[in-house]
Amino acid sequence: MTHHRTVACACGQVQLRLEGPPIASVECLCSSCRTAGQVLETLPGSPQIVDDKGATAFVMQRKDRIENVSGAQNLREFRLSPEAATRRVVAGCCNTPMFLEFSGGHWLSLYTAPWPEGARPPIEMRTMTGDLEDPSVLPDDVPNLKQHSLRFYALLLGAWIKMRFRSPKFEIKGELNV
Ligand SMILES: [Zn+2]
Ligand SMILES: [Zn+2]
Protein backbone atom coordinates (compact mmCIF):
# COMPACT_ATOMS: atom_id res chain seq x y z
CA MET A 1 0.00 0.00 0.00
CA THR A 2 1.39 3.38 -0.89
CA HIS A 3 0.34 6.54 0.76
CA HIS A 4 1.18 9.89 -0.65
CA ARG A 5 0.52 13.54 -0.12
CA THR A 6 0.86 16.60 -2.31
CA VAL A 7 2.05 19.81 -0.69
CA ALA A 8 1.94 23.14 -2.47
CA CYS A 9 3.12 26.71 -2.19
CA ALA A 10 0.55 29.28 -1.06
CA CYS A 11 -0.57 30.14 -4.61
CA GLY A 12 -0.61 26.50 -5.67
CA GLN A 13 1.80 26.69 -8.63
CA VAL A 14 4.60 24.66 -7.05
CA GLN A 15 3.54 21.19 -6.03
CA LEU A 16 5.59 18.44 -4.50
CA ARG A 17 4.25 14.92 -4.37
CA LEU A 18 5.56 12.98 -1.39
CA GLU A 19 5.51 9.22 -1.40
CA GLY A 20 5.51 7.26 1.84
CA PRO A 21 6.23 8.42 5.37
CA PRO A 22 8.93 11.00 6.21
CA ILE A 23 12.36 10.06 7.60
CA ALA A 24 11.67 12.31 10.55
CA SER A 25 9.82 15.42 11.56
CA VAL A 26 12.07 17.81 13.45
CA GLU A 27 12.57 21.34 14.66
CA CYS A 28 16.02 22.79 13.97
CA LEU A 29 17.42 25.39 16.34
CA CYS A 30 20.68 26.04 14.51
CA SER A 31 21.83 29.59 13.90
CA SER A 32 21.83 29.31 10.12
CA CYS A 33 18.20 28.11 9.97
CA ARG A 34 17.26 31.04 12.19
CA THR A 35 19.24 33.57 10.16
CA ALA A 36 18.03 32.24 6.81
CA GLY A 37 14.44 32.02 8.06
CA GLN A 38 14.52 35.60 9.22
CA VAL A 39 15.84 36.73 5.83
CA LEU A 40 13.21 34.74 3.91
CA GLU A 41 10.45 36.05 6.17
CA THR A 42 11.14 39.55 4.86
CA LEU A 43 9.94 38.51 1.39
CA PRO A 44 6.46 39.79 0.55
CA GLY A 45 3.79 37.24 1.44
CA SER A 46 6.17 34.92 3.29
CA PRO A 47 4.67 32.97 6.16
CA GLN A 48 6.37 32.91 9.57
CA ILE A 49 9.29 30.48 9.29
CA VAL A 50 11.07 30.77 12.63
CA ASP A 51 8.77 30.35 15.62
CA ASP A 52 8.90 32.28 18.89
CA LYS A 53 11.40 29.90 20.48
CA GLY A 54 13.76 30.18 17.50
CA ALA A 55 12.82 26.87 15.89
CA THR A 56 12.33 26.05 12.22
CA ALA A 57 10.16 23.00 11.59
CA PHE A 58 11.14 20.55 8.87
CA VAL A 59 9.81 17.30 7.50
CA MET A 60 12.75 15.25 6.25
CA GLN A 61 11.88 13.22 3.20
CA ARG A 62 13.87 10.91 0.93
CA LYS A 63 14.65 12.61 -2.37
CA ASP A 64 13.60 9.58 -4.35
CA ARG A 65 10.17 9.94 -2.73
CA ILE A 66 9.65 13.55 -3.75
CA GLU A 67 8.40 14.49 -7.14
CA ASN A 68 8.17 18.10 -8.24
CA VAL A 69 4.92 17.70 -10.14
CA SER A 70 4.49 21.35 -11.09
CA GLY A 71 6.04 24.80 -10.87
CA ALA A 72 9.71 23.76 -10.96
CA GLN A 73 10.48 26.87 -13.01
CA ASN A 74 9.36 29.01 -10.05
CA LEU A 75 11.86 27.58 -7.56
CA ARG A 76 14.59 29.95 -6.42
CA GLU A 77 17.57 29.06 -4.27
CA PHE A 78 19.02 31.09 -1.44
CA ARG A 79 22.42 30.54 0.22
CA LEU A 80 23.69 32.36 3.28
CA SER A 81 27.03 32.74 1.48
CA PRO A 82 28.08 31.91 -2.08
CA GLU A 83 30.13 28.92 -0.93
CA ALA A 84 27.55 27.59 1.55
CA ALA A 85 26.89 23.85 1.17
CA THR A 86 23.28 24.35 2.14
CA ARG A 87 20.67 25.99 -0.01
CA ARG A 88 17.16 26.94 0.88
CA VAL A 89 14.63 26.87 -1.88
CA VAL A 90 11.63 29.17 -2.10
CA ALA A 91 8.66 29.20 -4.47
CA GLY A 92 9.34 32.52 -6.19
CA CYS A 93 5.70 32.88 -7.27
CA CYS A 94 4.46 33.56 -3.73
CA ASN A 95 7.60 33.35 -1.54
CA THR A 96 6.58 30.15 0.21
CA PRO A 97 9.68 28.44 1.67
CA MET A 98 9.74 24.93 0.18
CA PHE A 99 12.84 23.05 1.34
CA LEU A 100 16.43 23.01 2.52
CA GLU A 101 19.04 20.87 0.82
CA PHE A 102 22.58 19.96 1.83
CA SER A 103 24.69 19.59 -1.27
CA GLY A 104 24.95 15.88 -2.04
CA GLY A 105 22.37 14.95 0.59
CA HIS A 106 19.94 12.12 -0.09
CA TRP A 107 17.02 13.86 1.60
CA LEU A 108 15.32 17.22 1.55
CA SER A 109 14.26 19.02 4.69
CA LEU A 110 10.86 20.32 3.68
CA TYR A 111 9.58 23.49 5.28
CA THR A 112 6.17 22.92 6.86
CA ALA A 113 4.43 26.03 5.48
CA PRO A 114 3.14 24.11 2.41
CA TRP A 115 1.32 21.62 4.65
CA PRO A 116 -2.33 22.22 5.38
CA GLU A 117 -2.83 23.09 9.05
CA GLY A 118 -3.46 19.92 11.03
CA ALA A 119 -1.79 17.70 8.42
CA ARG A 120 1.79 18.43 9.53
CA PRO A 121 3.50 15.39 10.94
CA PRO A 122 4.06 15.83 14.69
CA ILE A 123 7.57 16.90 15.74
CA GLU A 124 9.70 13.97 16.91
CA MET A 125 12.84 15.78 18.06
CA ARG A 126 14.66 19.09 18.14
CA THR A 127 18.19 19.34 16.79
CA MET A 128 21.09 21.75 17.28
CA THR A 129 19.60 23.18 20.47
CA GLY A 130 23.17 24.01 21.56
CA ASP A 131 23.03 26.98 19.18
CA LEU A 132 20.38 28.65 21.32
CA GLU A 133 21.50 31.18 23.88
CA ASP A 134 19.29 29.55 26.48
CA PRO A 135 18.15 26.04 25.50
CA SER A 136 16.31 25.70 28.84
CA VAL A 137 13.41 27.68 27.33
CA LEU A 138 12.56 24.66 25.16
CA PRO A 139 9.69 22.43 26.23
CA ASP A 140 10.68 18.83 26.99
CA ASP A 141 7.83 17.22 25.05
CA VAL A 142 10.31 15.66 22.58
CA PRO A 143 14.07 14.99 22.83
CA ASN A 144 16.11 18.19 22.60
CA LEU A 145 19.39 17.20 20.97
CA LYS A 146 22.33 19.55 21.37
CA GLN A 147 23.73 18.73 17.96
CA HIS A 148 22.82 16.42 15.15
CA SER A 149 23.15 13.37 17.35
CA LEU A 150 23.82 9.75 16.58
CA ARG A 151 20.09 9.08 16.64
CA PHE A 152 19.54 11.72 13.99
CA TYR A 153 22.29 10.34 11.75
CA ALA A 154 21.04 6.80 12.25
CA LEU A 155 17.66 7.80 10.83
CA LEU A 156 19.33 9.46 7.84
CA LEU A 157 21.66 6.56 7.25
CA GLY A 158 18.79 4.07 7.48
CA ALA A 159 16.97 5.97 4.74
CA TRP A 160 20.06 6.15 2.59
CA ILE A 161 20.64 2.42 2.82
CA LYS A 162 17.06 1.86 1.61
CA MET A 163 17.88 4.20 -1.27
CA ARG A 164 20.95 2.09 -2.11
CA PHE A 165 23.15 5.12 -1.47
CA ARG A 166 21.82 7.18 -4.31
CA SER A 167 21.49 10.95 -4.07
CA PRO A 168 19.09 12.20 -6.71
CA LYS A 169 19.70 15.72 -8.01
CA PHE A 170 17.22 18.57 -7.88
CA GLU A 171 17.60 21.14 -10.63
CA ILE A 172 16.92 24.69 -9.49
CA LYS A 173 16.99 27.23 -12.28
CA GLY A 174 17.08 30.57 -10.53
CA GLU A 175 18.57 32.40 -7.60
CA LEU A 176 16.55 34.38 -5.14
CA ASN A 177 17.11 38.09 -4.90
CA VAL A 178 16.73 39.30 -1.33
ZN1 LIG B 1 3.41 29.98 -5.31
ZN1 LIG C 1 19.24 24.21 11.03
Ligand nearest to the CA of 26: 2
**Nearest ligand to residue 100 Cα:** 2
Distance, CA of 61 to chain centre: 9
**pLDDT level of residue 146 (50, 70, 90 thresholds):** confident
Contacts 24+ apart (CB under 8 A), 17-21: 17/66, 17/67, 17/69, 18/61, 18/65, 18/66, 18/110, 19/65, 19/66, 19/67, 20/62, 20/65
Assign domain 4-165 to its CATH architecture.
Alpha-Beta Complex (3.90)
Domain extents in the chain: 4-165
Q: Give residue-wise pLDDT tens across range 53-73.
A: 999 999 999 999 999 999 999
Mean pLDDT confidence for 28-54: 96
Q: How far is the CA of 102 from the centre of ligand 2 (A)?
A: 11
Task: Report the distance separating Cα 63 and Cα 162, nearest Å.
Answer: 12
Gap from CA of 152 to ligand 2 centroid (Å): 13
Q: Are 101 and 170 in contact (CB under 8 A)?
A: yes
